[in-house]
C-alpha cells in the first residue's frame, strides 16, 4: 500500500497532500520507505530542480527497492542511511547551514514526517515552507501523556507504552510542537480492563 | 459609539523641521496623562480640522513604544497630495490642540523571528524607528537597509548610524547606491522575517523577489498606506441611512459618508486593514478599486468596496450602509 486516504477526523489531526514544486534555489527531500515513490513521482514532473536538490532517504523495510531509481534522478546530493537517528547529524547540519528560501519536501510515514517537521521548525523553518505527502505504513509516532515517553511505529490501538508500560488509547489529538499523537491510558477507570488491540484503520 | 479607534485629545508640544521635506511633530496629552503603550509599527489617525473640511490621515508612530509620555510622528510634505501633509506643515504649530486615535498596529514585528530584516525607502523609515527602539529595550536581532534620495533628505540617518552602526546600511539614490536585494535575501539564515515600508514600487519589488526566491508568505511583511486618490466626482446612495452623498473630486467616499453624518467603520483609512469593507447592493458603472485588501475574485464580483480609498465612475452606486 503506498496511497491511503485518511478518514475525516478532528482538526488537530494532520492532513497530507501531494508534493508540488515551489520556487527557490534549495530543495531538501527527506523520506522513508515508500516515501521514495512520492519523490520519484515529483521528480518525473520537475526534473529541472533536481540539480538543486538534496535527498535524504531511509529505506527501512523497502531495502534496495527504490535506491537505483533515486540515484538515477541525479540530485546534487543523495544520502541513503540505515535509520533516522543515523541521518540526524546530516539533517541538523543541512538545516544549520540553510538559508531562507529552502523548500522542504517530506514523504513517507507519519512518524518520519512528524519528527522531521519538528526538527525543521526548531531550526527556524516556517510551516509554510514544509510540504508533506504520506506514503506507506499507517503506523504513528505516539507520546504517552502520563510519562511523556515517545513510542515509534505504533500500529495497534491500544498499545503498550514502551517507557512506563501503561496501556494507551491511540488518539487523533496531535501536538504540532512535539510532532506526536497523544496516547491516553485506556484502563484508567477500571485497571486491567484493556480491550483487544486492533490494527489502525482495519 | 463612534467608528474607528477611541480618541485622545492632545496638544502639539514640538515641531521640528528635519529637512526640506520632512517635519516631526510631538504630542502630549492635553489632560497631562500618559498615552497608551504601543508596539513598534503602530499608527495613529490624526484629525485635521482645516476650515470646513475634516481630514483623518494615518501616520506611523515613531516615539519610544515603551515610554508613552509623548507620541511622535514624522510627515513628508506631499505637494501633489490632497492637502493633509501641507496642512500639518503650514498650519499646525506648537500649542495647537488636536485629536489622535488610539494606536492600531497592522505592521507589527513577528517576535518568533530569529532575525528581523527591515527594508525602508524614504519616509517609510518611520515604523522601523519605533520597532528599533522597542528592540533596543527588549532585545532582538535586526538589520536595517534604508534607501534615501540624497544625504540631506535622509531623515534619521545620523541617529541610526550613531546608535546602531553595525545594524544599519544606508543607500543614497543620487550616488547610484542600490540595495543588492537578491543577494541580501538569498543569504539570510533560517527564521528571518523581512519587513518593507516605502514607495509602492519598492514594496512590490521586495515582495516579488522574496517570493521568487522561495520565501514563505508568513515571513514577508509590508506596509503601504495609500492616500485616497482624487478623481471625478460621483454620487453614492446609502440604502440603510436613506441618503445620497456627493463625493467631491478631492474627497474620499468614506469622508463623504462621514460628512453626511453616517457613522461608518474604519481603522487605517489607507486600504490596508479591511475594517471599512462595505457591500455594494447595486452599481451601474465601474468601481475603481485602490485598496490592497480585497482579493481579485472579490473585485471581479463587484459586490464589495473599500470606501477609504476606492472610487466609482458611472451612473448609480448603492451601498449597504
Question: A111 and A51 in one domain?
Answer: yes
User: Measured between alpha carbons, how far is A116 from A128 in angstroms, rounded to an integer?
Assistant: 14
CB contact under 8 A, B219 and A100: yes
CB contact under 8 A, B212 and A23: yes
**In the A/B pair of chains, how many CB contacts fall below 8 A?**
55
- Min distance B190 CA to chain A CA atoms (Å): 5
CB contact under 8 A, A23 and B211: yes
**Residue B216 in contact with partner chain A when CB distance is under 8 A:** yes
What are the tens digits of pLDDT across the range B177-186?
999 999 999 9
Does residue A136 register a pLDDT over 70? yes
- Min distance A193 CA to chain B CA atoms (Å): 45
Measured between CA atoms, the residue of chain B closest to residue A95 is B190
DSSP E strands, B51-187: 53-60, 71-76, 97-101, 104-105, 115-121, 142-148, 168-172
CB contacts, 8 Å: A126 with chain B:
191, 216, 218-219
pLDDT at B5: 75
Residue where a domain terminates, one of A134, A153, A188? A134
Interval A51-55 mean pLDDT? 97
Which pLDDT band holds residue A106 (cuts at 50, 70, 90)? very high
Is residue A3 in a domain?
no
Q: In this complex, which of A23, A124, A128 lies closest to B213 when CB atoms are compared? A: A23
**Residue B39 in contact with partner chain A when CB distance is under 8 A:** no
CB contact under 8 A, B214 and A25: yes
Q: In this complex, which of B186, B190, B211 lies closest to A124 when CB atoms are compared? A: B190
CB contact under 8 A, B190 and A23: no
For domain B7-105, give the fold: Elongation Factor Tu (Ef-tu); domain 3 (2.40.30)
Is residue A4 in a domain?
no
pLDDT at B52: 80
CATH number for A96:
3.40.50.80
Q: In this complex, which of B187, B211, B219 lies closest to A126 when CB atoms are compared? A: B219
pLDDT at B226: 74
- At residue A24, the 3 state secondary structure works out as coil
Print pLDDT tens along chain B (321 aa): 456 778 999 999 999 999 999 999 999 999 999 999 999 999 999 999 988 888 889 999 999 999 899 999 999 999 888 889 999 999 999 999 999 999 999 999 999 999 999 999 999 999 999 999 999 999 999 999 999 999 999 999 999 999 999 999 999 999 999 999 999 999 999 999 999 999 999 999 999 999 999 999 999 999 887 778 888 999 999 999 999 999 998 889 999 999 899 999 998 888 888 999 999 999 999 999 999 899 999 998 889 999 999 999 999 999 999
User: Measured between alpha carbons, how far is B295 from B312 in angstroms, rounded to an integer?
Assistant: 18
> What is the overall mean pLDDT for chain A?
95
CB contact under 8 A, A99 and B212: no
Measured between CA atoms, the residue of chain B closest to residue A22 is B214
pLDDT at B3: 67
8 A C-beta contact, residue B208 and residue A119: no
Question: A146 and A185 in one domain?
Answer: yes
Residue where a domain terminates, one of A134, A161, A179? A134
- Min distance B172 CA to chain A CA atoms (Å): 27
Question: A46 and A102 in one domain?
Answer: yes
Question: A125 and A46 in one domain?
Answer: yes
CB contacts, 8 Å: A124 with chain B:
114, 189-192
The set of cell numbers assigned to A195 is 480491550
Question: A155 and A129 in one domain?
Answer: no
Question: For chain B, what is the largest distance between any 2 Cα atoms, rounded to a whole number of angstroms?
Answer: 60
Question: A125 and A33 in one domain?
Answer: yes
The set of cell numbers assigned to B219 is 515571513
pTM: predicted TM-score of the whole model, two decimal places: 0.89
pLDDT at B1: 43
CB contacts, 8 Å: A121 with chain B:
none
Question: A77 and A37 in one domain?
Answer: yes
CB contact under 8 A, A124 and B191: yes
8 A C-beta contact, residue B68 and residue B134: no
Is residue A151 in a domain?
yes
User: Measured between alpha carbons, how far is A47 from A43 in angstroms, rounded to an integer?
Assistant: 5
Q: Which CATH architecture has domain B234-319?
A: Roll (3.10)
Question: A120 and A82 in one domain?
Answer: yes
- Exposure string over B211-220, b if 16+ CB within 10 A, otherwise e: bebbbbeebb
> What is the overall mean pLDDT for chain B?
94
Q: How far apart are the first and last CA of chain B?
A: 16
pLDDT at B100: 96
CB contacts, 8 Å: B212 with chain A:
23
- At residue A5, the 3 state secondary structure works out as coil
pLDDT at B165: 97
Helix ranges restricted to H, A65-189 = 67-71, 84-96, 110-122
Does residue A197 register a pLDDT over 50? yes
Q: Which CATH architecture has domain B115-223?
A: 3-Layer(aba) Sandwich (3.40)
CB contact under 8 A, A127 and B218: yes
- Exposure string over B269-305, b if 16+ CB within 10 A, otherwise e: bbbbbebbbbebeebeeebbbbbbbbeeeeeeeeebb
Measured between CA atoms, the residue of chain A closest to residue B117 is A100
User: Measured between alpha carbons, how far is B318 from B321 in angstroms, rounded to an integer?
Assistant: 9
CB contact under 8 A, A125 and B218: no
CB contact under 8 A, A101 and B114: no
Question: A147 and A91 in one domain?
Answer: no
Residue B67 main-chain phi, psi, to 5 deg: -125, 75
How is residue B92 annotated by DSSP?
-
Is residue A18 in a domain?
no
Disruptive mutation site among B208, B213, B216, B221 for chain A (greatest number of A CBs within 10 Å): B216
Is residue A9 in a domain?
no
Question: A160 and A108 in one domain?
Answer: no
Q: In this complex, which of A103, A123, A128 lies closest to B190 when CB atoms are compared? A: A123
Does residue A159 register a pLDDT over 80? yes
Residue where a domain terminates, one of A78, A101, A134? A134
Which pLDDT band holds residue A4 (cuts at 50, 70, 90)? confident
Does residue A1 register a pLDDT over 50? no
Which pLDDT band holds residue A112 (cuts at 50, 70, 90)? very high
- Min distance B188 CA to chain A CA atoms (Å): 5
**Residue B296 in contact with partner chain A when CB distance is under 8 A:** no
Domains of chain B, by residue range, sit at 7-105, 115-223, 234-319
Domain containing residue A47 = 27-134
Question: A124 and A79 in one domain?
Answer: yes
Look at chain A and report how many structural domains it folds into. Answer: 2
Helix (H) or strand (E) segment spanning residue B134: helix B126-138
pLDDT at B2: 59
Does residue A2 register a pLDDT over 60? no
CB contacts, 8 Å: A101 with chain B:
185-186, 213-215
pLDDT at B80: 84
Question: A81 and A44 in one domain?
Answer: yes
User: Measured between alpha carbons, how far is B99 from B30 in angstroms, rounded to an integer?
Assistant: 10
Amino acid at each position: 500500500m503506498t496511497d491511503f486516504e485518511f478518514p475525516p477526523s478532528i482538526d488537530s489531526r494532520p492532513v497530507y497532500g501531494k508534493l508540488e514544486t515551489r520556487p527557490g534555489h534549495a530543495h531538501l527531500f527527506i523520506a522513508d520507505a515508500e516515501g521514495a515513490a512520492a519523490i520519484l513521482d515529483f521528480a518525473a514532473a520537475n526534473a529541472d530542480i533536481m540539480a538543486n536538490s538534496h535527498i535524504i532517504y531511509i529505506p527501512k523495510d523497502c531495502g534496495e527497492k527504490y535506491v537505483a531509481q533515486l540515484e538515477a534522478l541525479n540530485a546534487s546530493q543523495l544520502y541513503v542511511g540505515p535509520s533516522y537517528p543515523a541521518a540526524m547529524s546530516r539533517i541538523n547540519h543541512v538545516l544549520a547551514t540553510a538559508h531562507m528560501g529552502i523548500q522542504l519536501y517530506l514523504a513517507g510515514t507519519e512518524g518520519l514526517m512528524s519528527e522531521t517537521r519538528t526538527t525543521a521548525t526548531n531550526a527556524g523553518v516556517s510551516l509554510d515552507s514544509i510540504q508533506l505527502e504520506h506514503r506507506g505504513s499507517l503506523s504513528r509516532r505516539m507520546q504517552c501523556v502520563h510519562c511523556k515517553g515517545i513510542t515509534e511505529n505504533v500500529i495497534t490501538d491500544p498499545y503498550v507504552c514502551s517507557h512506563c508500560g501503561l496501556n494507551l488509547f491511540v488518539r487523533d489529538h496531535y501536538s504540532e510542537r512535539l510532532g506526536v499523537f497523544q496516547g491516553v491510558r485506556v484502563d484508567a477507570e477500571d485497571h486491567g480492563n484493556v480491550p483487544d488491540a486492533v490494527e489502525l484503520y482495519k | 459609539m463612534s467608528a474607528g479607534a477611541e480618541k485622545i485629545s492632545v496638544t502639539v508640544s514640538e515641531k521640528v523641521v528635519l529637512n526640506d521635506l520632512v517635519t516631526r511633530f510631538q504630542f502630549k496629552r492635553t489632560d497631562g496623562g500618559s498615552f497608551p503603550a504601543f508596539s513598534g509599527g503602530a499608527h495613529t489617525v490624526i484629525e485635521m480640522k482645516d476650515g470646513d473640511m475634516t481630514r483623518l490621515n494615518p501616520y506611523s508612530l515613531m516615539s519610544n513604544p515603551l515610554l508613552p509620555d509623548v507620541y511622535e510622528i514624522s510627515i513628508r510634505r506631499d505637494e501633489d497630495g490632497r492637502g493633509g501633509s501641507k496642512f500639518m506643515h503650514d498650519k499646525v504649530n506648537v500649542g495647537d490642540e488636536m485629536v489622535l486615535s488610539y494606536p492600531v498596529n497592522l505592521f507589527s514585528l513577528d517576535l518568533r523571528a530569529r532575525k528581523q530584516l527591515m527594508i525602508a525607502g524614504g519616509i517609510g523609515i518611520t515604523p522601523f524607528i519605533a520597532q528599533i527602539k522597542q528592540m533596543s529595550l527588549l532585545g532582538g536581532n535586526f538589520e536595517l537597509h534604508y534607501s534615501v534620495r540624497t544625504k540631506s533628505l535622509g531623515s534619521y540617518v545620523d541617529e541610526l548610524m550613531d546608535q546602531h552602526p553595525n545594524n544599519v546600511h544606508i543607500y543614497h539614490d543620487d550616488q547610484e547606491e542600490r540595495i543588492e536585494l537578491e543577494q541580501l535575501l538569498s543569504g539570510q539564515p533560517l527564521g528571518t522575517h523581512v519587513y518593507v515600508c516605502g514607495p509602492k514600487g519598492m514594496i512590490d519589488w521586495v515582495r516579488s523577489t522574496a517570493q521568487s526566491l522561495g520565501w514563505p508568505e508568513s515571513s514577508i511583511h509590508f506596509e503601504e498606506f495609500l492616500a485616497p486618490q482624487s478623481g471625478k466626482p460621483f454620487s453614492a446612495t446609502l440604502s440603510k441611512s436613506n441618503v445620497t452623498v456627493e463625493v467631491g473630486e478631492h474627497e474620499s467616499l468614506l469622508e463623504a459618508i462621514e460628512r453626511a453624518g453616517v457613522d461608518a467603520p474604519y481603522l487605517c483609512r489607507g486600504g490596508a486593514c479591511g475594517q471599512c469593507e462595505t457591500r455594494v447592493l447595486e452599481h451601474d458603472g465601474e468601481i475603481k478599486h485602490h485598496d490592497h485588501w480585497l482579493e481579485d475574485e472579490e473585485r471581479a464580483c463587484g459586490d464589495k468596496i473599500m470606501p477609504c480609498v476606492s472610487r466609482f465612475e458611472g451612473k448609480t452606486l448603492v451601498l449597504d450602509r
